[in-house]
A = this chain, B = another copy of it.
Amino acid sequence: MSREKVNYLFSGGTVVVMDDSRRLIENGAVAVKDDKIVGVGPAAELQSRYEAAEVIDFTGKALMPGFINAHTHVPMTLLRGLADDLRLDVWLMGYMMPVEREFVNPEFVRLGTKIACAEMIKGGTTCFADMYYFENEIAQATAEAGMRGVLAQSIMKFPTPDAASYEDGLANCREFIQRWKGHPLIVPAVGPHAPYTCPPEILKACSALAQEFDVPLHIHIAETALEVENSRKENGMPVVPWVKRQNILDAKVIAAHCVHIDEGEMRTLQHAGAGIAHNPTSNLKLASGVAPVPLMLQVGVNVGIGTDGPASNNDLDMFEETRLAALLAKGFTGDPTALPAREALALATIGSARALHISDITGSLEEGKRADFIVVDLQPMHNTPRFSRDPEAIYSQLVYVAKSTDVQHVICNGEWLLRDRQLLKLDEQDLARQATEVAEKIDRFLVAREGNVVRKLLALGGLNQEESFEVQVKAQLEDLGRVEAVLKDSSLFKITKTSHYRQYDTYFAFGDQHVEQLRLREDIYLDEEGRPTPRSRFRLTLIGAASEREFPRSVILNRSRLTATPDQSLRFYREYLNPLEERELVKLRRRNRFSYKGTDFAINIDQMLTPAQPDYFLEIKSRTWSKRDAEKKAGLIAEILDLLGISDDQLIQEGYNVLVTR
């Protein structure tokens, strides 16, 4: 009787199957042919069934499914340890976003991914779910590293390093899916960043795209209590029902975090077949809280475990993450039997596979599934002794004691990625050298902006990012009367609101190429007769360097624009920020909000007091996060200028603040 030929037979140790029965096989074996597991059972039985090109003895060790990291942003390995122990806004807007804007490009993303893959493989992870920019490069690097990935191209309303608008992001994502769909290692996915960065239009478009190609949709959900509070305030409901209304749950959802969802929301996710990625380290480190995992499991949602990005963890160690998940479940329920080791390990393997919608191909050691598994040494001193009375004690060893450095072999898709702790497809030294070069550049960039205004403002907190496309036109007015008469013609314009105020603008400049200027603006509202009222408004706006596109008779600016309600005096900001230059403008402004052909605009009619100017000025403005919408508005502005009788030579290109130094 001839035996079936296979590539590898792993034989002799404990096989931790992670099927529904949580089968354990002492003196077990696993047979691998090409990319698949063809046999799982007692060693003696498999030895008689298969003729292996190579037999690998793993006596005294455990063979288990590779860990599946259910939520991360792998290129952020290159940002780990850059800035820690900070408030979320300071960390994100003061460090992550500025550095990402400056450094994230295809090369950065490829290198960061390879470093992440090296770390993950050495730590026993065979598959991960990512969401970042330039996901195509991440897919390329992941496939080269031999790892499995469910990779989502990020989409959001703000400009990102790889997309000037959400439409560009969506187009990138479609192209990305078309390129990778059907790849043996890569599952492409759609990555609408979060409900608070993606308005309904974007969420709906993302869901439609994911459904069109039957690929997963990866999104951050209810990470912080503030997010839920804002959702209730703005949408009248918590996050899960809100995204359901935007069709998100019609796609195969991977919902990262879900720290602040209630039982009803869990039921909604369960009903939709959505998966949850639990990220305990990141949620503690950023003080977001602890996700109610035992309740999620009781409700029956598919829960997996993830590390989140290495900039908020600060590593990609699934042993640590699984242990922390097991510990927190106990500490938070007050029940030491909550999420026992066996079930914690299940979450990090088959649980993650289910949450990522790929449990048909990976997550457990079952015949026909891809050969994605690891061998863990259970004999180091820190894991001594081993008790055999209760076979399930191996789960306790793997979860509470084993370390990522105990991983001896890693096989993914039937290929060796790590053998006797040696990486076979990646060159650690070379990656480390390249990483050092990137780190040095980032260091130089950050050192150069030390004392920088963004950083200092962020340290104060409370900054908000505004919509990013600004469509605007400015003109010098020779005939104010004519403009005012036209504006009163209600067959053309519908004025919705008019305000009149004296506006004091103080511009700080810092000689920093990354911040054009900071404007402190105080508006004193005036009554009908132009007398000051007790009403005033104080605002601080950080205006980034813009990328400009001129349109016929108007201009579209795309730039970072952060606003804050300042709670300090002008003097404080002056002393605290120490600007290189300071300019002041005072003007009387009449602001009209109006609707033209169903689109909202603002028109400002300004009289400059300091420095005094003989003419009036007119400004037409609108903001949006959609490039297409910006283009449409630019067209409407050209029509409005015609109606107002403003000619091209009246238009001025620069901001008012240049008047000061003219």
Contact = CB atoms under 8 A, between A and B. Distances in A.
Contacts of A379: 432
B336 A91 contact: yes
A425 to B, nearest CB: 14
Interface stretch (A19-27, A396-404, A601-609): A396-404
B330 A286 contact: yes
A283 B327 CA distance: 9
A598 interface: no
A543 interface: no
Interface stretch (A116-124, A203-211, A357-365): A116-124
Contacts of A333: 287
Interface stretch (A170-178, A233-241, A367-375, A387-395): A387-395
Nearest to A289: B331
A347 interface: no
Contact of A315 (B281, B387, B401): B401
A553 interface: no
Given A281-B327, A286-B336, A330-B285, A81 B400 contact: yes
A314 B384 contact: no
A317 to B, nearest CB: 7
A385 interface: yes
Counting chain B CB atoms within 10 Å of each CB, the highest count among A123, A326, A336, A337 belongs to A336
A466 interface: no
A123 B431 contact: no
Interface string A319-331: 0100110111011
A435 interface: yes
Given A290-B331, A393-B82, A401-B315, A438 B337 contact: no
A428 interface: yes
Main secondary structure of the interface of A (DSSP, over half): helix
B393 A119 contact: no
Contact of A88 (B80, B84, B286, B336): B336
B84 A384 contact: no
Contact of A340 (B85, B289, B385): B85
Contacts of A283: 331
Contact of A386 (B288, B313, B400, B436): B436
Nearest to A396: B84
B384 A115 contact: yes
A382 interface: yes
A87 B336 contact: yes
A335 interface: yes
A284 interface: yes
Given A335-B287, A386-B439, A428-B381, A315 B85 contact: no
A314 B327 CA distance: 11
Contacts of A316: 382
B334 A287 contact: yes
Interface residues of A, number: 79
A458 interface: no
A285 B385 contact: no
A160 to B, nearest CB: 23
Contacts of A442: 387, 389
A118 B385 CA distance: 13
A398 B555 CA distance: 50
A320 B91 CA distance: 24
Interface in A564-620: none
A270 B309 CA distance: 39
A170 to B, nearest CB: 33
A77 B77 CA distance: 35
Contact of A384 (B384, B396, B435, B446): B435
Contact of A381 (B118, B334, B403): B118
B385 A435 contact: yes
A78 interface: yes
Contact of A314 (B119, B334, B396, B405): B396
Q: List 5 tightest A-B contacts by C-beta distance, closest first.
A: A284-B331, A385-B439, A85-B340, A385-B435, A284-B327
10 contacts: A77-B384, A81-B393, A84-B341, A87-B337, A91-B336, A122-B381, A285-B330, A386-B439, A387-B443, A389-B446
